[in-house]
Amino acid sequence: MPTRLTDIVIDTPDPSSLARWWSEALGWRVTNESDDESNVEPPEGEPGVELTFVPVKDPKVGWNRLHLDLASRDAGHQAQIVARLESLGARRIELEVERPWVVLADPQGNEFCVLEHRDEYDGRGPVAAIVLKVPDIATAGPFWLAAAGGTLEIKDDVVATIELTTPGPLLELIRENEPKTVKNRWHIDVRPYAADDQAAEVSRLISQGARREDVGQSADVTWTVLTGPDGNEICVLWPRG
């Protein structure tokens, strides 16, 4: 069976602090706090994707190529979400062109959006979509489908959507013409199913256009770091069980 998207990994100088902030922002729970990582997950039985916060010393550079879009029920609810997040320490980012969504940054400068209501996001939980910037939709779409699992809809040469196999947010690919210059601050982890072989899944993704990547990981880590054909990092985890 193919790999499936299992969590979003966030580089941060202070994992515990940022994990607690996102826990409060989303109404989710902190399920682990340690020196190595902190984890935030939706309540039992609710849709969503795990957020994993890991320590790094590197400063944030430029806009993130992966961000979260948050859902709202209507215009009033959208305004309430924005006001609450600003009260928690989020900062509004003004756009050059007026849009129906609001762009905010968390206390460490990571951008995210609070969307106007859209029917396709109903029932997905507070996170409507995981948005990944890519240089070419036609190349990136099939690769991320192979990596994350689900069904792919390429809407045009600017946007593609993957309905993941697990309940929760969509994975949306957005064309970005600005070149990638640094390691992603946020990236996707995928995991083989329990009966599958990690090495075989790594080889499968390499055959789909990925390549192995050295981001400074030690030799004893259990995951494999790749970059997709779009240059975005992805880690293939060890199967659970």
Domains within the chain, CATH numbers bracketed: 4-236 (3.10.180.10)
| pLDDT score for 218 | 80
Rounded (5°) CA angle 102-103-104: 115
- Predicted TM-score (pTM) of the model is 0.95
Measured CA to CA, the distance from residue 24 to residue 229 in angstroms comes to: 35
> Looking up tokens 């944030």, which residue turns up?
60
Measured CA to CA, the distance from residue 208 to residue 140 in angstroms comes to: 10
Rounded (5°) CA angle 73-49-52: 125
Alpha-carbon distance values, 62 to 12, 45, 66, 150, 161 (Å): 14, 36, 12, 30, 25
Q: Which one-letter amino acid corresponds to residue 49? A: V
Measured CA to CA, the distance from residue 187 to residue 106 in angstroms comes to: 17
| pLDDT score for 241 | 59
| pLDDT score for 1 | 59
Note down pLDDT in tens along the chain; length 241 residues: 589 999 999 999 999 999 999 999 999 999 999 989 999 999 999 999 999 999 999 999 999 999 999 999 999 999 999 999 999 999 999 988 889 999 999 999 999 999 999 999 999 999 999 999 999 999 999 999 999 999 999 999 999 999 999 999 999 999 999 999 999 999 999 999 876 789 999 999 999 999 999 888 887 888 899 999 999 999 999 987 5
